[in-house]
Amino acid sequence: MTSTESGQRFLEDVAPLIETGIRAVLQAPDPHSEGLYDAMRYATFSGGKRLRPLLVLAGARAVGGSVAAALPGAVAIELIHTYSLIHDDLPAMDNDDFRRGRPTLHRAKGEAMAILAGDGLLTLAFEVLAQATAAGVPPERVVQAVAVLSRAAGPQGMVAGQAADIDGDAPFTMEQLQYLHGKKTAALFEAAASLGPILCAADPDAVDLLAQFGRSFGLGYQIVDDLEDQDKDAGRMSYPVLAGVAGAVENARRYFDQASAIALRFPQGDALAVLADMVRSRLDSPVH
């Protein structure tokens, strides 16, 4: 089996575990909260690619760790990602009516329930992560994982990026855009790539290196997203607007090359490399 095949096999094998893990924590504990849980499930099970949880588990594999230890991190990060999309779609933010081809949560269940479902997913994520001790993760590693994830999601990470996006006044500079992408998108990918190694008690150098993988991956990912959304984002500042389409493609490739080079340094970095190649290949689409 080639390393690409073994990486792909790993990702296929763990994908159902991620679904089961998420579903297990989104069961209403009592009939009174069924409406809230129904809203949280509506947003969570709607065809997301599960990129961040796959990165968590691929990162665990890279350091020879167990899927069981990393799974709480995989579930937690997808809950946070889903919350961010729900809140990003709200009338006060992007005011979007559709996501993943379906009405957004506030369109389907009302704005108040969408806000609460987002709040619920965000807080539940940390409960799930805190319970990683039940999978045998040492308490100090759980604390480290909580610190990394909360920092990436919070006012030093994704929330800061979203605030900068909302505040953004034209003209926009490349420096401002890099800040925005770093916080809004790359911070969570950086956490995704380091959570598995943290929960699997990898050494600090490996954790740092995989955090760098996640950062490069995330910065590249946001450029791909900007390139694909050029029509939707017309009039809005984006990477291709500032760097030109060819410049955007070139810089995204550079980020994925950096990520792949890091993945190759790990004997079991195959699944990370497959994920980087998968997103990188979107740059070959004729859309750009």
Query: What are the residues binding ligand GRG (CB under 6 A)?
Result: 48-49, 51, 84-85, 87-88, 100, 158-159, 162, 184-185, 222, 225
Residue with Cβ nearer ligand GRG (137 or 224):
224
Residue with Cβ nearer ligand GRG (150 or 222):
222
3-state secondary structure of 64: coil
Distance CA(174)–CA(251), nearest Å, equals: 12
CA 84 to chain centre: 10
- Cα-based distances in Å from 19 to 56, 164, 215: 14, 33, 25
54: left (phi over 0), alpha (psi -120 to 50) or beta: alpha
Residue with Cβ nearer ligand GRG (37 or 189):
189
- Cα-based distances in Å from 95 to 107, 127, 204: 10, 29, 41
Contact between 46 and 86 under an 8 Å Cβ cutoff? The reply is no
Q: Which residue is nearest to ligand GRG (CB)?
A: 48
Question: Considering the complex, what minimum distance in angstroms separates the CB of residue 47 from ligand GRG?
Answer: 7
Contacts of residue 118, Cβ cutoff 8 Å, sequence gap at least 6: 83, 84, 86, 87
Residue with Cβ nearer ligand GRG (84 or 268):
84
Alpha helices in the chain (DSSP H): 3-25, 34-44, 51-62, 67-89, 105-109, 111-130, 139-153, 158-167, 174-181, 187-199, 204-228, 239-264, 270-280
Residue with Cβ nearer ligand GRG (129 or 158):
158
Q: Which residues pair with 98 in a beta bridge?
A: 103
Distance CA(249)–CA(240), nearest Å, equals: 8
Residue with Cβ nearer ligand GRG (109 or 184):
184
Question: Considering the complex, what minimum distance in angstroms separates the CB of residue 128 from ligand GRG?
Answer: 18
Contacts of residue 147, Cβ cutoff 8 Å, sequence gap at least 6: none
Residue with Cβ nearer ligand GRG (139 or 168):
168
Residue with Cβ nearer ligand GRG (65 or 218):
218
Question: Considering the complex, what minimum distance in angstroms separates the CB of residue 84 from ligand GRG?
Answer: 4
Question: Considering the complex, what minimum distance in angstroms separates the CB of residue 32 from ligand GRG?
Answer: 27
Question: Considering the complex, what minimum distance in angstroms separates the CB of residue 138 from ligand GRG?
Answer: 30
Distance CA(273)–CA(180), nearest Å, equals: 25
Question: Considering the complex, what minimum distance in angstroms separates the CB of residue 26 from ligand GRG?
Answer: 16
Question: Considering the complex, what minimum distance in angstroms separates the CB of residue 78 from ligand GRG?
Answer: 8
Question: Considering the complex, what minimum distance in angstroms separates the CB of residue 276 from ligand GRG?
Answer: 14
